[in-house]
Structure 1
């Protein structure tokens, strides 16, 4: 399933019974998260819930530097995945369709909605699907309702440290950001929050290429956004940055950002004046992570 379209703004508010804790089978992360929260103090995070944003928050958003101070300074709305980029599934989805979404998207959790995303019901976990219907078991007649787990619902103004504390206490690792009209405005995961403290987290499913890029076919590469521009230019034998940009740009992600003046969305294709195409494979609201670089004259894959 692709990106979810905007739903009706008159959707009913999420039921409060979904705010209950997660299944007891969910792994605990209290030790690590507890140490992060303890470094700042839970009371100071709660006091900041209604406080005005710190002036240094703007600097944190611009630079993207991780650190404990982000727990106080940054708000949920600063780190949330926008609504149009949320991958979610309808409650009417079949088992085979759900398996296909998990396979294609690579996520372990997916929000489930009824009708539109503005009427969320909970989340479905890949582990529950595998235990109930995988490993040779039939599991009986399929219904995603039987697999639903609760979600958190939070306002965009909440400090991310407060949300991190809620996730720790309730053991729910995904939250939907709700706007003033009760509609869904974005999505935040536990990993999104922790990355604001310790930096980007790469798990065993992230590509480990032993370098910054991988040649897919002649004239086309998959490139990490942090790849040095000059090194990649030497690889392809072509200049990508303008002479006046070379002093300001270090990475391929920075190159694309400078060309369009914003962080592009996942799936977006940017074509430079020199004919080089940059297809965004992975990105979040704050930064580009991976891209596909295609030289002029190279046809995209079907």
Structure 2
């Protein structure tokens, strides 16, 4: 009976790769860059496919992201007023095709709870039942903008809820975050049969009066028009290209640069491209 040759090429390669994984996960030195390089090496060796590599890198990036980086900003929140009748808020529910809605009283800073669309089914089949929106509300959980995304994902899983209201340092509502927002950070954008073709309307999203979340692929022309600035469209096609040129190398997530009084922070990127930027403009006097 023959034994495996410990000096064979395949055995040596496999052993070396597993030794490197062990070192990256349990030995010294430990850092994200080494782990990402190891994952890229695994892809090149066809141990994993490109999609798996992207997902693993997405998981690694989650612990760097904060809720403010992925939340749906206040201006884009779809809400239901607690005083509305079913006839008044049902068109909003149907048109948005969402499954959860913050329910407000006076304004978006006063949230009474979360409406689950499925909770309306019992009344649809039994119209004789007296309906009070407040009777079917689920509790609304609050999270700060600065909360780490990986910690929020753990809470979502442990407590089995899928939406939280995001509040700023003063207690005002600044947006909403869902478990789908976190999953999209890992696996990329999740589309369903209700999603429409992206026409660029969400390329620039306000976070507050002077800060915006901007897709790196936003055309320079659109960026100039929105912010009333004059970046040279011959320098790059996208605002991400303008940032890359200014920095001079492929930056990492959380790197920052100021160009023409506009501050750019990279909130999402991979080894090949910029994905999302946080843009801060000078506050109006």
For residues 153 and 223 of structure 1, what CA distance do their matches in structure 2 show?
A: 30
Match of 1:80 in 2: 71
For residues 82 and 65 of structure 2, what CA distance do their matches in structure 1 show?
A: 33
Residue 91 (str. 1) matches residue 71 (str. 2): no
For residues 139 and 164 of structure 1, what CA distance do their matches in structure 2 show?
A: 40
For residues 145 and 127 of structure 1, what CA distance do their matches in structure 2 show?
A: 15
Residue 126 (str. 1) matches residue 105 (str. 2): no
CA deviation digits over 1:73-114, x for unaligned, max 9? 010011111112111111111011121111122211100112
- Kindly indicate whether structure 1 or structure 2 has the higher relative contact order, using CA contacts under 8 Å at least 6 residues apart: 1
Match of 2:194 in 1: 205
Match of 1:112 in 2: 103
**What is the DSSP-based 3-state SS (H/G/I as helix, E as strand, rest coil) of the residue aligned with 1:182?**
coil
Task: Note if contact 1:122-1:150 (Cα within 8 Å) is conserved in structure 2.
Answer: yes
**What is the DSSP-based 3-state SS (H/G/I as helix, E as strand, rest coil) of the residue aligned with 2:108?**
strand
* CA drift at 1:257: 4.6
**What is the DSSP-based 3-state SS (H/G/I as helix, E as strand, rest coil) of the residue aligned with 1:202?**
coil
Structure 2 residue ranges without an equivalent (≥5) = 1-24, 26-54, 201-215, 228-266, 269-274, 277-285
TM, length-normalised to structure 2: 0.51
* CA drift at 1:116: 1.8
Residue 188 (str. 1) matches residue 168 (str. 2): no
Structure 1 residue ranges without an equivalent (≥5) = 1-40, 42-64, 208-221, 226-249, 263-284, 289-302
Match of 2:135 in 1: 146
* CA drift at 1:224: 5.4
Match of 1:166 in 2: 155
* CA drift at 1:151: 2.1
Q: Which of the pair has more CA radius of gyration?
A: 2
* CA drift at 1:255: 6.2
Match of 2:145 in 1: 156
* CA drift at 1:179: 1.7
Task: Note if contact 1:110-1:125 (Cα within 8 Å) is conserved in structure 2.
Answer: yes
Root mean square deviation of aligned Cα: 3.1
For residues 223 and 172 of structure 1, what CA distance do their matches in structure 2 show?
A: 28
Distance 1:199 1:256, change over 3 A: farther
**What is the DSSP-based 3-state SS (H/G/I as helix, E as strand, rest coil) of the residue aligned with 1:149?**
coil
* CA drift at 1:254: 3.9
For residues 224 and 120 of structure 1, what CA distance do their matches in structure 2 show?
A: 31
For residues 97 and 149 of structure 2, what CA distance do their matches in structure 1 show?
A: 25
For residues 131 and 181 of structure 2, what CA distance do their matches in structure 1 show?
A: 31
Match of 1:103 in 2: 94
Q: Which has the higher helix share?
A: 2
* CA drift at 1:152: 1.8
* CA drift at 1:154: 0.5
* CA drift at 1:153: 0.6
Distance 1:255 1:107, change over 3 A: farther
Task: Note if contact 1:150-1:172 (Cα within 8 Å) is conserved in structure 2.
Answer: no
